Amino acid sequence: MNVLISGGCKNGKSYYAQKLARDRARALNKPLYYIATMIPRDEEDRARIRRHLSERDGWGFETLEQPTDLTALLEDLNVDKEGVFLLDSVTAIMENEMFQRVETAGSLKGKSNIEIVYDETAKDRVKADMVAFAKGTGNTVFVSDGIYGDMGEYSESTEDYRKALAAADRALAEACDEVIEITYGLAEQWK
């Protein structure tokens, strides 16, 4: 059973998803995988990763680092496709694919610089990859941040990213058996 869990940032989605995936893996007696998609950019990101690692310590997760190209895991012979997967998060993998960080030669004392390369074509590929992964595994919990609902004004590329994430979430909602929204730690099942 595939599940999409969405909601605002820092509302308890990850912890809820971890418990759901763990309980399913135990009930099915299947391997449990955590697909880590975040590329840490600062200390806040690293702290969030440490917190997530601590929360799931001892739960039986095998961590798979996959910040891009999700469907490559479907070809990985070391991964049991009948296991239970937790992908955290759709938001991060969309960002990683649409805004690629490329290291370039710097001008100051040989130091390198990081350039952000915007890939407008990534949005359709990521959406298709999410649906293909759901169909290819059949037992994945997807976590996504509902960042597309506010009324702020954003740059064209950021607005494109927000629309791409919303489109990916809609496609996943259709492909998943359950859709759950987490708001202030409370779960509401929509599908």
Beta bridge partners, 116, equal: 101
Domain locations along the chain: 3-189
Superfamily name with CATH number, domain 3-189: P-loop containing nucleotide triphosphate hydrolases (3.40.50.300)
Q: 4 and 87 in contact (C-beta within 8 Å)?
A: no
Task: Give 30: exposed, middle or buried? Use CB within 10 Å, 0-12, 13-18, 19+.
Answer: middle
pLDDT tens track for 123-176: 999 999 999 999 999 999 999 987 766 667 778 888 888 898 999 999 999 999
Mean of pLDDT values over 89-105 = 86
Per DSSP, 79 falls in state S
pTM assigned to the model: 0.87
pLDDT tens track for 114-130: 788 888 899 999 999 99
Nearest to 5 by CA among 188, 187, 179, 167: 179
Say yes or no to pLDDT of 107 above 60: no
DSSP per-residue letters across 13-44:
HHHHHHHHHHHHHHHHT--EEEEE-----SHH
**What pLDDT does residue 51 have?**
84
